A and B are shown apart, each in its own frame.
Chain A
Amino acid sequence: MSAARPAPRTVRLEPSRGLGRALSPGELWAYRDVALQLAVRDLKVRYRQTALGVAWAVLQPLLTMVVFTVFFGRLAHVPSEGGSYALTALAALVPWTFFSNALTVSSQSLLANVALVSKIYFPRVYIPAGAVAAALADLLVGIVLLLATVLAYGRTPSAGALALPLLAAVAAAAALGVGAAAAALSVRYRDVRFVVPFAVQLLLFVSPVAYPATIVPEPWRTVFAANPLVGVIEGFRWAALGTPAPWSAIGISAAAAAVLLAAGLLYFERAERGFADVV
């Protein structure tokens, strides 16, 4: 046996109280390799199982953009921002596609990983987190697609492009918060998996994806921004189309995302103790 092995540490296993163990930073750090491998695994599985592979990350927002442009832009005369409905839609569809995929996959992640949950221990929050991380790779592809499309339209992205990582983080936080809570709920109530796709569908219409947020009149626009996607989408449009920087919307949405993340993880952590007993 290797002599370099550090003295084994003693772990006390007992009924957890309060916040419990699974969100403790020490525990998360000790299992950091697992987090990385789970994210890599989710990516591999994602691209291995789809016939289109990475192309899917491009086609999904692009095809939706075409449909939106024809029906909402041309036929329904939905207003656009910065003069191009197609760009208005694509700037929203890139973060939207990320959010809806991250939310859907992470909400199903626990049930999809019953074998891991019921046989071995590691901080379970890494399962939905891995799903969101894998979706971030798609977002990266989507952002490249968006910037390329902007250039193809003969425009240049605004300084807002520098805020894209922050906006991605807001969207990821919201997706993980809701996704983790939904994943934990779905272990106990199997019908949650029917609810999530429906909720995502509704969310598409209460988010400014097919229309600009400016059609919502003030005072309501401030309330509207409590939907984290509002700040994210407006931020993406700022980056792509050079619309005015929507700082207040981004601020409100970031705060809302932080609340969702904290509440979602808290619920996940409370439910986590019983996972292996139910699945």
Chain B
Amino acid sequence: MTAAIATRALGKRYVLGARRRGYDTLRESLARAGRATLARLARRPGRSGDGETIWALRELTLEIGQGEAVGLVGHNGAGKTTLLKILSRVTEPTTGWADVTGRVGSLLEVGTGFHPELTGRENVYLNGAILGMRRAEVRRRFDEIVSFAEVERFLDTPVKRYSSGMAVRLAFAVAAHLEPEILLVDEVLSVGDAAFQRKSLGKMTEVAREGRTVVVVSHNLAVIQALCRRGIVLEHGRAIADCPATEAVDRYLRTLELAAAGDLLERADRDPRSWHDTRIRAVEVTAADTGRAGILVGGRPAAIVVHLTEELPGMDCRLSILNSLGQPVATLDSSLPSPADTRERGLGPAIRCELPWVPLVSGRYRLDVLVRARRHVQDGLQAAAFFDVEPGVVDGRPMPDAGAEGTVVLPHAWRLPE
């Protein structure tokens, strides 16, 4: 078996500050740009010297055989996306090299290589050309792509009028159907409805079975387990494990738990959009009636407290509850207000979320936290906390045990013949 992808001591360094906060006003931006230009001109040309650099990928040596399906897992900023960007030639490595054999189809992060002003049809051909296909080849595949993406009615509509789900569906269909020898997919499966996710998962399995190479990044570990034989765990730009996918998932879950148990302020894997006017200091999940930390009881009240470093006016918080495989279970979002919410001054730098009763079946869950204020993401942490749910009683009815299907408990009543 020949290698589809082989890397040797691959490394990528980014200069921090190359992408600073967006400018607020024109005047400010001009002043800042002027100062920055002067500062840059004063330095020796050719050296990108904003000082702080970060190695997004270091000394990565690996080989992926033709027809292998490999899952990449790791925290935010572990280097997964950087690796896919290098392999798809969007960015160059700083050190080492990678040999890529065969045509590469890629879907990087959310968003697509589409031109917003062109129609869906025109974009399919443009992407085909970029993949190195002749028009005739694209034409042969065209109907299949369109029916897979379910965008028949919008073919002659500019892509800018597509919903993000439609655009990603079309982008995935293009990448998967244009017969790339290597398919690189980053987190697409988190977009779009469940039916499409299933369909695209099926398509990727099919691509892998046809002897083509698939490399997938997903926080949804169930997807990794279902699709990939092999898993690679990245941490701080290095591969810390390269093993069967199920093992890699376990290994990654352990690193997640370890990270949540440590000091959250120390963590570097924060949401890259963060402005950091305030930072997540600690996250507490407690059973509200007993005060027990980290262990909730189904059907009983609970409280989640996000401790921050600063109190900012108008803060909002989004909590995502995920099951142990990283599949989202529920999202609690304060920016969708309810009359039950309160806002008070001087509460201190903390946000509190109260659940009248826990509607989850027993098991282990993970909490992702995102804090917004001043119209920007201020801080975000995945796996900021873990908690367990023990079986309890809902509306006087015992909850089904852990073996039952599903993740949530619904209050309900039966009408049965005597």
Contacts and interface: CB of A to CB of B under 8 A. Distances in A.
A2 B178 CA distance: 12
Contact of B91 (A2, A37, A277): A277
B203 to A, nearest CB: 15
Interface of B: 14-15, 18-19, 23, 29-30, 33-34, 36-37, 48, 85-103, 106, 108-109, 111-118, 122, 125-127, 129-130, 132, 134-135, 179, 181, 210
A33 B181 contact: no
A15 B94 contact: yes
A34 interface: yes
A8 B213 CA distance: 13
B88 A121 contact: yes
Given A115-B111, A115-B116, A276-B91, A190 B181 contact: no
Given A14-B97, A15-B94, A121 B89 contact: yes
Contact of A48 (B48, B99, B117): B117
B101 A278 contact: no
A119 B167 CA distance: 14
Contacts of B90: 117-121, 276
Contacts of A190: 23, 29, 33
Contacts of B14: 277
A115 B97 contact: no
Contact of B118 (A9, A33, A45): A45
Interface in A1-49: 1-2, 8-16, 30-31, 33-34, 36-38, 41, 44-45, 48-49
Contacts of B88: 120-121
A12 B106 CA distance: 17
Contacts of A11: 89, 99-101
Contacts of B97: 12-14
A273 interface: yes
Contacts of A34: 126, 129-130
Contacts of A115: 111-116
B18 A278 contact: yes
A116 interface: yes
B99 A12 contact: yes
25 contacts: A10-B100, A12-B99, A12-B100, A13-B89, A13-B92, A13-B93, A13-B100, A30-B132, A33-B132, A34-B126, A37-B125, A41-B118, A41-B126, A45-B115, A115-B113, A119-B90, A119-B106, A119-B108, A119-B111, A120-B130, A190-B33, A191-B33, A191-B37, A194-B30, A276-B85
Contacts of B126: 34, 37-38, 41
Nearest to A8: B102
A64 interface: no
Interface of A: 1-2, 8-16, 30-31, 33-34, 36-38, 41, 44-45, 48-49, 113, 115-122, 189-191, 194, 273-274, 276-278
A259 B90 CA distance: 29
Q: Which 3 A-B pairs have the closest CB atoms?
A: A121-B89, A8-B102, A119-B113
A10 B132 contact: no
Given A10-B99, A11-B100, A31-B132, 20 more contacts: A8-B101, A13-B93, A30-B132, A34-B126, A41-B118, A41-B126, A49-B117, A115-B112, A119-B90, A119-B112, A120-B108, A121-B88, A121-B90, A122-B130, A189-B37, A190-B29, A191-B30, A194-B30, A274-B48, A278-B19
A194 B112 CA distance: 28
A272 to B, nearest CB: 9
Nearest to B30: A191
Contacts of A13: 86-87, 89, 92-93, 97-100
B115 A41 contact: yes
Contact of B127 (A36, A49, A120, A277): A120
Most buried by B among A8, A9, A31: A8
A30 B133 CA distance: 10
A31 B127 CA distance: 12
A191 B32 CA distance: 10
Contacts of B118: 41, 44-45
B98 A14 contact: yes
Given A41-B118, A278-B19, A15 B127 contact: no
Nearest to A119: B113
A135 B210 CA distance: 44
Contacts of A16: 92
Contacts of B127: 120
A33 B134 contact: yes
Contacts of B132: 30-31, 33
B113 A273 contact: no
A121 B127 CA distance: 10
A110 to B, nearest CB: 13
A8 B98 contact: no
Contacts of A116: 113, 115
Contacts of B130: 31, 34, 120-122
B118 to A, nearest CB: 6
A61 to B, nearest CB: 25
A8 B122 contact: no
A189 B23 CA distance: 12
A23 to B, nearest CB: 15
A194 B134 CA distance: 39
B308 to A, nearest CB: 31
Contacts of B91: 276-277
